[in-house]
C-alpha cells in the first residue's frame, strides 16, 4: 500500500514535468519549422489527448500548406496572364506604329530598289511620274491599317475595362425577372449583318416562350452578347439557343481541330485562348466577363464539347449553358 501511494505521488509529480517538456517541444517545433517544410509534428508522450492535439496541429499545417500552394499557383497564373496581356497590347500597337512610320516616310525603299535595278531612262521617267499618286495611295493604305490596329487596341482596352467592372466587389446589380426571349432577339438583331455575311440563321428552341430569369437586365444582355459573339468568332455554323427548365444552352458547330484545342474547364478563365499562338481575334476575356457577371447574379456558366459527324465529315459541337447556381441546403437534419 505504501509502495502504491509512493508511485501515485511520483506520477503526480512527474506528470506535469513530462507534459511541460512535451508542450515546449511542440512549441519549439512550430517556431523552428521552415514555412515551406513538409515536416509534421510527431507524438512523444503517450495518451489520446496528446495524439488528438498533434492531429489538430498537423491538420492546420496541411491547410496552411494547401493555401500556400494555391497562392503560388495564382501568382504564376497572374504572371502568365500579364505575359499574354503584354503580347495582346504590344502586337496591334507595334503594327500601328510601323504603318504610321511608313505613311510618314513614304515607300522610298521600294522606289529606290526599282531604280537601282533598272538602267533604262523610260522606266525612271515612268516611276517619277507615278510617284505622287503612288505615294498618296501607299500613305492612305498604311494609315488605314494603322487605324484598324488602333481599333483592335481600343477593343482590348474596352474588354479589360469591362472585366474590371464585372469583378468590382462594389458593383451593384438590380436583380429582377427578365424575359429571356426578347433579350436574345435584341442581341441577334444587333448581330444580323454578321450572320447575314456568313449565311447563318440562328435557331431558338424554347419549351416556355415566356421563360424569365432573375437577373440584372444589362448584365444579362452582356452575357448573351458575349456568347453570341463567341459563336460568331469561333463557330463553324449557325448557333442553336435552347431553353429547358431553368437552363439556357448556346450550341454551335466547331471544327474538329478547334474541338481538340479547347479545354472546357479553362474556357471561362481570363485571357484563355485555345490558340496558344494567340492568333485569333479577341483577348480571351469575353467568356471570363460573362462568368464573373453570372456569379454576381448567382448564375453559372458551364461548357461541354461533343465530337460528332456532320455533312463535311468529322466535327464537334460546343455547348455553353447558363443556369442558376445550385442552392445550398443549410437546414440541419
Q: Does residue 107 sit in the same domain as residue 61?
A: no
Which of 128-132, 154-158, 299-303 holds the top average pLDDT? 299-303
Residue 182 grid cell: 426578347
Within a domain: 80: no
Within a domain: 253: yes
For the chain, counts of helices (H) and of strands (E):
9, 7
Residue labelled with grid coordinates 531604280? 115
Is the per-residue pLDDT at 110 higher than 50? no
Determine phi and psi for 213, rounding to 5 degrees. -130, 135
Is the per-residue pLDDT at 274 higher than 70? no
Q: Does residue 185 sit in the same domain as residue 319?
A: yes
Among 24-33, 160-169, 214-223, the range scoring the smallest mean pLDDT is: 160-169
Strands 203-206 and 240-244: parallel
Q: For residues 188 and 193, what is the distance between their CA atoms, to the nearest angstrom? A: 10
Q: Does residue 183 sit in the same domain as residue 55?
A: no
Within a domain: 332: no
Q: For residues 157 and 89, what is the distance between their CA atoms, to the nearest angstrom? A: 9
Where a domain ends, among 144, 166, 188? 166
Where a domain ends, among 132, 166, 200? 166
Q: How confident is the model at residue 252 (pLDDT cuts 50, 70, 90)?
A: very high
Q: Does residue 198 sit in the same domain as residue 64?
A: no
Q: What is the pLDDT of residues 277-300, one digit of tens each?
A: 445 555 667 888 899 899 989 999
* pLDDT computed for residue 94 by the predictor: 80
Residue 311 is classified by DSSP as T
Report, as an integer, the average pLDDT of 9-27.
66
Report, as an integer, the average pLDDT of 39-53.
78
Mean residue pLDDT of the chain comes to 77
Residue 128 is classified by DSSP as H
Q: What is the pLDDT of residues 50-90, one digit of tens each?
A: 788 888 888 888 888 888 888 787 777 666 666 666 666 77
Which of 225, 82, 100, 81 lies closest to 150 in space, CA to CA?
Answer: 100
* pLDDT computed for residue 328 by the predictor: 55
Among 181-195, 220-234, 267-281, the range scoring the smallest mean pLDDT is: 267-281
Q: For residues 52 and 321, what is the distance between their CA atoms, to the nearest angstrom? A: 46
* pLDDT computed for residue 15 by the predictor: 54
Q: For residues 268 and 294, what is the distance between their CA atoms, to the nearest angstrom? A: 11
Strands 240-244 and 299-310: unpaired
Q: Does residue 128 sit in the same domain as residue 195?
A: no
Sign of CA dihedral 63, 67, 69, 70: positive
Q: What percent of the chain has pLDDT over 70?
A: 72
Q: Does residue 309 sit in the same domain as residue 186?
A: yes
Is the per-residue pLDDT at 241 higher than 90? yes
* pLDDT computed for residue 281 by the predictor: 55
Within a domain: 83: no
Q: Does residue 112 sit in the same domain as residue 209?
A: no
Q: For residues 218 and 166, what is the distance between their CA atoms, to the nearest angstrom? A: 12
* pLDDT computed for residue 176 by the predictor: 93
Q: What percent of the chain has pLDDT over 90?
A: 28
Residue bearing the bigger pLDDT, 226 or 19 = 226
Using an 8 Å Cβ cutoff, are 273 and 280 in contact? yes
Is the per-residue pLDDT at 111 higher than 60? no
Q: Does residue 180 sit in the same domain as residue 154?
A: no
Max Cα distance, the chain (Å): 132
* pLDDT computed for residue 85 by the predictor: 65
What is the count of structural domains for the chain? 3
Within a domain: 77: no
Which of 97, 55, 80 lies closest to 276 in space, CA to CA?
Answer: 80
Report, as an integer, the average pLDDT of 148-175.
75
Domain interval for residue 58: 2-72
Q: What is the pTM of this model?
A: 0.60
Within a domain: 248: yes
Q: Which residues pair with 242 in a beta bridge?
A: 205, 249
Q: Does residue 157 sit in the same domain as residue 200?
A: no
Query: Going by C-beta distance under 8 Å and a sequence separation of 6 or more, which residues neighbour residue 211?
Result: 179, 180, 181, 243
Residue 93 grid cell: 500597337
Q: Does residue 135 sit in the same domain as residue 255?
A: no
Is the per-residue pLDDT at 269 higher than 50? yes
Which of 234, 261, 269, 266 lies closest to 250 in space, CA to CA?
Answer: 234
Within a domain: 315: yes
Where a domain ends, among 166, 192, 220? 166
Among 52-61, 140-149, 272-281, 322-331, the range scoring the smallest mean pLDDT is: 272-281
Residue 141 grid cell: 493604305
Amino acid at each position: 500500500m505504501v509502495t502504491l501511494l509512493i508511485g501515485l505521488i511520483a506520477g503526480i509529480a512527474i506528470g506535469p514535468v513530462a507534459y511541460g517538456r512535451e508542450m515546449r517541444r511542440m512549441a519549439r517545433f512550430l517556431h523552428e519549422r521552415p514555412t515551406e517544410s513538409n515536416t509534421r509534428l510527431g507524438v512523444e508522450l503517450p495518451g489520446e489527448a496528446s495524439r488528438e492535439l498533434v492531429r489538430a496541429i498537423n491538420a492546420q499545417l496541411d491547410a496552411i500548406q494547401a493555401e500556400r500552394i494555391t497562392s503560388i499557383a495564382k501568382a504564376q497564373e497572374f504572371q502568365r496572364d500579364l505575359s499574354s496581356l503584354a503580347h495582346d497590347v504590344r502586337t496591334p500597337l507595334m503594327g500601328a506604329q510601323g504603318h504610321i512610320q511608313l505613311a510618314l516616310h513614304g515607300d522610298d525603299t521600294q522606289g529606290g530598289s526599282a531604280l537601282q535595278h533598272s538602267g533604262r531612262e523610260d522606266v525612271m521617267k515612268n516611276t517619277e511620274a507615278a510617284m505622287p499618286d503612288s505615294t498618296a495611295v501607299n500613305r492612305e493604305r498604311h494609315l488605314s491599317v494603322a487605324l484598324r490596329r488602333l481599333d483592335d487596341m481600343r477593343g482590348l482596352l474596352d474588354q479589360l475595362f469591362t472585366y474590371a467592372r464585372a469583378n468590382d466587389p462594389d458593383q451593384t446589380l438590380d436583380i429582377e425577372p427578365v424575359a429571356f426571349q426578347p433579350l436574345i432577339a435584341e442581341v441577334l438583331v444587333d448581330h444580323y449583318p454578321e450572320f447575314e455575311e456568313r449565311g447563318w440563321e440562328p435557331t431558338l428552341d424554347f419549351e416556355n416562350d415566356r421563360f424569365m430569369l432573375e437577373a440584372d437586365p444589362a448584365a444579362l444582355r452582356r452575357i448573351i452578347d458575349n456568347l453570341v459573339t463567341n459563336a460568331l468568332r469561333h463557330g463553324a455554323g449557325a448557333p442553336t439557343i435552347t431553353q429547358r427548365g431553368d437552363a439556357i444552352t448556346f450550341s454551335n458547330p466547331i471544327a474538329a481541330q478547334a474541338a481538340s484545342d479547347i479545354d472546357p474547364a479553362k474556357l471561362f478563365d481570363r485571357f484563355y485562348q485555345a490558340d496558344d499562338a494567340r492568333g485569333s481575334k479577341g483577348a480571351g476575356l469575353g467568356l471570363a466577363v460573362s462568368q464573373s457577371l453570372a456569379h454576381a447574379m448567382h448564375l453559372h456558366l458551364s461548357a461541354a464539347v461533343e465530337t460528332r459527324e456532320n455533312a463535311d465529315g468529322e466535327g464537334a459541337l460546343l455547348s455553353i449553358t447558363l443556369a442558376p447556381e445550385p442552392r445550398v441546403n443549410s437546414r440541419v437534419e
